[in-house]
Amino acid sequence: MPKTKSNNETKRPITVEDHRNLGRINAEKKRSAVNDALQFPTGEEFETDLTQILAGDSEERGETVAIALIDSDNFYHINDDFGPEEGDRILIETGRHIKKSVPKEATVYRIGGDEFGIIFKGEMEREEIFLLLNDLKNSFDVKTPDKERQTISIGMATAFIDASRYAELVRKADGALYRAKSGGHNRVAMAKEEKMIPKTSHYTQDQLQRLNKLAKREGIGEAILLREALDMLLKKYDI
């Protein structure tokens, strides 16, 4: 005879955690739909590949290594106004446009969400890469269902000039992307030299001593470590 469910086995109410898990599952399905169509390497591979390149001999060989982060402008409203299928379509068309616009030596990645990444490695000068990215942006011709032109913004950073470590180089490119967006969207921005505010009363003496010890142990400047920590904090709170 089939077992009957006891009162303890009845279906329980959906909890907040259930909603979060369902959200993660749906987000993963969305990522998979776009990734399946584009077949681009992912954000994890972007980090692995770039880390290996930076640790290699590109600087000694005189190769240019640069990265670009590309983000759709005001993408949030597309899923809300037209549905997730239209969002997927625009992301797929965006990825295909990026791929056909860069040389074969460049690798295009699906970082996640509406962000793509490119790693350039070779003989192109960074000024040439900037002009190529500007052409890529100008020739982008993807329309929303209401026939409005979708636009993209791009941030670029060059290895061994802007930074030599993965986290710092990506942070520089992300900062350039932020400036491109805050400057009015539909722009390309390059990383720029930063002026740090001196460490004053923002940190305790114990924190500064531990920071100094960490910097010596890792062979990295204190300013770089502080920028990385602040970047992690801003991403945690989605700023």
| Co-location of 210 and 101 in the same domain | no
pLDDT at 6: 43
Question: Quick check: is 151 in a domain?
Answer: yes
Q: Provide the strand spans (E) within 76-176.
A: 107-112, 115-122, 142-143, 149-150, 152-158
Q: How many domains does the chain have?
A: 2
Regarding whether 210 and 147 lie in a shared domain, the answer is no
Domain membership of residue 207 (yes or no) is yes
Which of 179, 194, 209 is where one domain is finished? 194
Q: 214 with 175, same domain?
A: no
> Residue 17: inside a domain, yes or no?
no
**Domain CATH code at residue 207:** 1.10.1220
The per-residue pLDDT for range 122-179, each reduced to its tens digit, is 999 999 999 999 999 999 999 999 999 999 999 999 999 999 999 999 999 999 999 9
Contact between 53 and 119 (Cβ < 8 Å): yes
Classify residue 7: in a domain, yes or no. Answer: no
107, 119 contact by CB (below 8 A) = yes
178-196 pLDDT, tens digit each: 999 999 999 999 998 665 5
Computed from CA positions of residues 223, 179, 88, 36, in that sequence, does the dihedral angle turn out positive or negative? negative
Task: Give residue for tokens 């004053």.
Answer: 200
pLDDT in tens, 36-62: 999 999 999 999 999 999 999 999 999
What mean pLDDT do residues 11-35 have? 57
Residue 111, domain CATH: 3.30.70.270
Q: How confident is the model at residue 202 (pLDDT cuts 50, 70, 90)?
A: confident
- Residue 200 inside a domain? The answer is yes
Specify whether 51 is located in the same domain as 106: yes
Same domain, 187 and 199: no
- SS3 of residue 170 by DSSP: helix
Percent of the chain at pLDDT exceeding 70: 83
Tell me, yes or no, whether 177 lies in a domain. yes
Our separate counts of H helices and E strands in the chain read 9, 7
Strand ranges, E, within the chain: 64-72, 107-112, 115-122, 142-143, 149-150, 152-158, 188-190
Q: Is residue 232 in some structural domain?
A: yes
Q: What is the mean pLDDT of residues 105-115?
A: 94
Per-residue model confidence (pLDDT) at position 231: 78
Classify residue 143: in a domain, yes or no.
yes
Q: 70 with 118: CB under 8 angstroms?
A: yes
Residue 161 and residue 221 in one domain: no
Residues 166 and 54 in one domain: yes
Q: Is the pLDDT of residue 7 over 50?
A: no
Are the C-beta atoms of 70 and 109 separated by less than 8 Å? no
How high is the mean pLDDT of the chain? 85
Examine the domain organization and report whether 159 and 182 are in the same domain: yes
pLDDT at 37: 95
pLDDT confidence bin for 8, thresholds 50/70/90: very low
The C-alpha atoms of residue 182 and residue 86 are separated, in whole angstroms, by 25
Same domain, 149 and 175: yes
Contacts (Cβ under 8 Å, ≥6 apart) of 118:
67, 68, 70, 98, 102, 106, 107, 108, 109
Structural domain boundaries, residue 220: 195-239
Same domain? For 68 and 168 the reply is yes
